[in-house]
Chain A
Amino acid sequence: DTAVSQTPKYLVTQMGNDKSIKCEQNLGHDTMYWYKQDSKKFLKIMFSYNNKELIINETVPNRFSPKSPDKAHLNLHINSLELGDSAVYFCASSQVLRRPQEAFFGQGTRLTVV
């Protein structure tokens, strides 16, 4: 029973394409996140979302958009992919105001744009 699962695990695509990465959590958490780990291994937050509020890191291009069909899912859509988008993307979830307060992470999606 994977708590936070992402699909696909690997994604290779050409520049200019539009792609999506799916994320599902079965922990009953109310907040989900997307992180990008770049070539320097820095885990940078892109979005956090609960059923009330979407917080967007101001450095994230608007080609990236999160879509949440329900509380257990937060999918990441990327339009017009660029070479610099190549990275590992991690989904995570947490529960506000309840212990444990840590975020749980998925296994990551390695995106390669060629």
Chain B
Amino acid sequence: DQQVKQNSPSLSVQEGRISILNCDYTNSMFDYFLWYKKYPAEGPTFLISISSIKDKNEDGRFTVFLNKSAKHLSLHIVPSQPGDSAVYFCAARSPGNQFYFGTGTSLTVIP
């Protein structure tokens, strides 16, 4: 009963191009959505978030888009840099303040 899904386990992008990571969820009660970045042997670190009442949030090279009707969100990174190579987790917060994570997408930015 995975409530947050990332269907692409990996993604490779050329440096300077746009990276688009996708995420789908099933629970319409989620009120907050987040993206985390994770390097090997480290804990996930927060990257960017969006409230369920918005459809876009931008922070520098990172933009998160939310389509509530489709229960879909995406993270755009532009331009992509080699240092962006990591595993990206999509997460959603329930009204009970529990965070549910997807399985992650491993992004490789090729110099």
Min C-beta distance of B67 to chain A, whole Å: 20
Question: Interface residues of B toward A: which range?
Answer: 20 to 34
Contact of B97 among A31, A35, A42, A43 (CB under 8 A): A31
Nearest A residue to B96 by beta-carbon distance? A55
Q: Per-position contact with B for A33-74: 1 when CB-CB < 8 Å, else 0?
A: 101000011111100100000010000000000000000000
Contact of A48 among B42, B43, B97 (CB under 8 A): B97
State whether B101 touches A43 (Cβ < 8 A).
Answer: yes
- Cβ of B43 and Cβ of A43 under 8 Å apart? no
A104 to chain B, nearest CB (A): 7
Q: Could you give 12 example pairs across A and B, Cβ below 8 Å?
A: A41-B104, A43-B89, A43-B104, A45-B98, A45-B101, A48-B98, A55-B98, A90-B43, A102-B46, A103-B99, A105-B45, A108-B42
Which residue numbers of A lie inside 8 Å of B, CB to CB? Answer: 4, 31, 33, 35, 40-45, 48, 55, 90, 92, 94, 96, 100-108
